[in-house]
Structure 1
């Protein structure tokens, strides 16, 4: 089953509800948008809808957070990047919003208020229940068709993500289409050997990915780095020192140690763990083999020997999926692992990066054009790689069945 595309939708001359993910880092004191990467990713889809009236539905942050704010600055930023005005309406579906949409001309773009200002959007619902919300009923009555380009929220079962496709003819935007197509290729048709590099602090997700790709024979090798590696090292019987062991407890990942152990029992020859690490001692980077990690020093990166071993594996790989950093990359002393591995991964034939912090590092390194695909959704990407059907994609597939 596939999702509908903009080409098939026939949106010319129609009013299109377009769900984007413009959730960006902002300065809460000035509302200044600090990174417009997500805006730039959506431009091709907006331009592809030039012959329509485009009504943007998007969000910033969530209730209770400091950066939960209105979208006035977002409309202005999008207008600058598009090279034409984007009208901001400080209402989601009230009379003011409905009248503004009715008054639109072909080619115009309008942005509704932060959709998470509406309590219903913060609920997790099944598509049929999401369709019955006031939010979906009101929004769907304001337009002819729906396009979802918000891959970053594709793993959420929220009304605008899963309810709108049940209420109206729908399609995936160009970004959604590209993400789904490229990530699906990892599962079938990716050049072999396939190597998964799993790091960062999302240990539970990474372990789900590792289990899925090894059980299904999708990956030939899994390299673990970052906090994920620390959990595997404990599972393999190494003492990683008090600070790093405490961090795992603090992140509530003790249960994952047992799961890592199971993976090692079944796939020991396919899981590559760092054999050396870098710790902080007297404010300096000091390296140790994993058999001699000091009791009171935090593990903050993989060591040079481990970097060398990983690069040898990457050089022989046809595909690499890179998700999560190798250490505390924000500090120059402990960025070596992340930087060197990304540099090596960028030279592999088919290279996919799972969004988030890693994407920011790639941009800083100026390597963004050297990777096959850099995902715009960290959470959505990793959930896709665990083999789960993303709620947004599922809803778009169902919509195609219902509305053709």
Structure 2
């Protein structure tokens, strides 16, 4: 069942609770926001609600982290990008918040305090439990309808994400709609061949994605890079060296080697592993074929032979879904694999990038406009690609059933 959209909501003149994901990299000393990509992605939704009273519910980081802070800087940044005032209220649902919302006129925008300052928002709850929380009761009493545009938190079963849609007429925002429509196209109607590139360090998620897309014939090929490739190489019986193996153990991904083995047994012809790697020796980049990886040097990038082969594979693809870097791209000596594969991926007919680190690299390379879709949610995007229904999407579908 599809989620409701802003167009169906009839929000004109109403008070709208708008859940955004403005969680951004912050300089802890100055509280300056270092990257405003997520803000920019939400602007179309805020503008589409210009005849409503818009009450923004959002978060920054989570308890215990250095960048867990108030949203004063976020309201200022949004005001700057939106080109109209954004009132910041240092309360979530206290008297000051309620009175400020009550005093709003249509067309005005207000941002409540970091919703994760409320302990309930940090709980993982079933929707039926979430709707009974004080947080959901108090927030829902302050507005007429709810719009969820926070795709970046769509995989979390938290009160504002899954509780509010059960008690209020709700819809997905324009960004939520865009994310769902592009990512759904990967499963049906994407130009063939479909090639998944799975890298970075989220090995367990990547293995789930690989299994899902291979079992269901969604992807024709899965290219593994980064730590994901090291797990597959170990599964295929290659010695990846002590430092790379230690990293896998440290990240608690040893059980994934067995899962990678099972995938290789069934789909060896469709999983593409790098044939060479680059390591650091005596402070230099040195390349080795995968059957001669030194025991004492960490694997930090693809070798140039591997880059050339994988680029050729990508050139033949109709669709590329790319999630996670090929190596330690922050170090210029080991950025080649990530850079070259992304450049190749940008040239295919339909290209989807799974957010996070990969999106940051694309920004740096200045090739953002060459991709069909760059997801704003790393974790949410990869979970969507494993074929699981995201809690936020499920809750919006339930809301449509309840409220029409």
TM-score by length of 1: 1.00
Instruction: Classify the secondary structure of the residue corresponding to 2:288.
Output: strand
1:257-336 equivalence runs, <5 A? 257-336=257-336
Alpha-carbon distance in 1 for matches of 2:294, 2:67 = 40
2:180 corresponding residue in structure 1 = 180
- How far the C-alpha of 1:334 sits from its partner, in A, is 0.2
Instruction: Classify the secondary structure of the residue corresponding to 1:80.
Output: helix
Alpha-carbon distance in 1 for matches of 2:252, 2:158 = 26
- How far the C-alpha of 1:301 sits from its partner, in A, is 0.3
- How far the C-alpha of 1:387 sits from its partner, in A, is 0.3
1:343-382 equivalence runs, <5 A? 343-382=343-382
- How far the C-alpha of 1:30 sits from its partner, in A, is 1.4
2:389 corresponding residue in structure 1 = 389
CA distances 1:22-78 after superposition (whole Å, capped 9, x unpaired): 000111111111111100000000000000000000000101111111001100100
Structure 1 window deviating more from structure 2 (308-317 vs 207-216): it is 308-317
2:256 corresponding residue in structure 1 = 256
1:46 corresponding residue in structure 2 = 46
2:31 corresponding residue in structure 1 = 31
What 5-or-longer segments of structure 1 have no aligned partner?
none
1:3 corresponding residue in structure 2 = 3
1:149 corresponding residue in structure 2 = 149
Alpha-carbon distance in 2 for matches of 1:316, 1:28 = 44
1:167 corresponding residue in structure 2 = 167
- How far the C-alpha of 1:208 sits from its partner, in A, is 0.2
Alpha-carbon distance in 2 for matches of 1:73, 1:246 = 40
1:56 corresponding residue in structure 2 = 56
Structure 1 window deviating more from structure 2 (14-23 vs 309-318): it is 309-318
Establish whether residue 78 from structure 1 lines up as the match of residue 96 from structure 2. Answer: no
1:238 corresponding residue in structure 2 = 238
Alpha-carbon distance in 2 for matches of 1:77, 1:44 = 16
Instruction: Classify the secondary structure of the residue corresponding to 2:206.
Output: helix
CA distances 1:271-303 after superposition (whole Å, capped 9, x unpaired): 000000000011111100001001101100011
1:190-229 equivalence runs, <5 A? 190-229=190-229
Establish whether residue 87 from structure 1 lines up as the match of residue 87 from structure 2. Answer: yes
- How far the C-alpha of 1:399 sits from its partner, in A, is 0.2
Instruction: Classify the secondary structure of the residue corresponding to 1:156.
Output: coil
- How far the C-alpha of 1:99 sits from its partner, in A, is 0.3
CA distances 1:72-117 after superposition (whole Å, capped 9, x unpaired): 1100100000001100000000111000000000100000000000
Instruction: Classify the secondary structure of the residue corresponding to 1:147.
Output: strand
Establish whether residue 342 from structure 1 lines up as the match of residue 342 from structure 2. Answer: yes
CA RMSD for the aligned pairs? 0.4
1:15 corresponding residue in structure 2 = 15
Establish whether residue 399 from structure 1 lines up as the match of residue 403 from structure 2. Answer: no
Instruction: Classify the secondary structure of the residue corresponding to 1:295.
Output: coil
Alpha-carbon distance in 2 for matches of 1:95, 1:15 = 17
Instruction: Classify the secondary structure of the residue corresponding to 2:18.
Output: strand
CA distances 1:221-267 after superposition (whole Å, capped 9, x unpaired): 00000000000000000001111111111111000000000000000
What 5-or-longer segments of structure 2 have no aligned partner?
none
Alpha-carbon distance in 1 for matches of 2:229, 2:122 = 34
Alpha-carbon distance in 2 for matches of 1:317, 1:70 = 45
Alpha-carbon distance in 2 for matches of 1:355, 1:375 = 5
Alpha-carbon distance in 1 for matches of 2:76, 2:12 = 25
Alpha-carbon distance in 2 for matches of 1:23, 1:311 = 33
Alpha-carbon distance in 1 for matches of 2:19, 2:29 = 27
Alpha-carbon distance in 2 for matches of 1:379, 1:225 = 18
Alpha-carbon distance in 1 for matches of 2:31, 2:311 = 41
- How far the C-alpha of 1:129 sits from its partner, in A, is 0.7
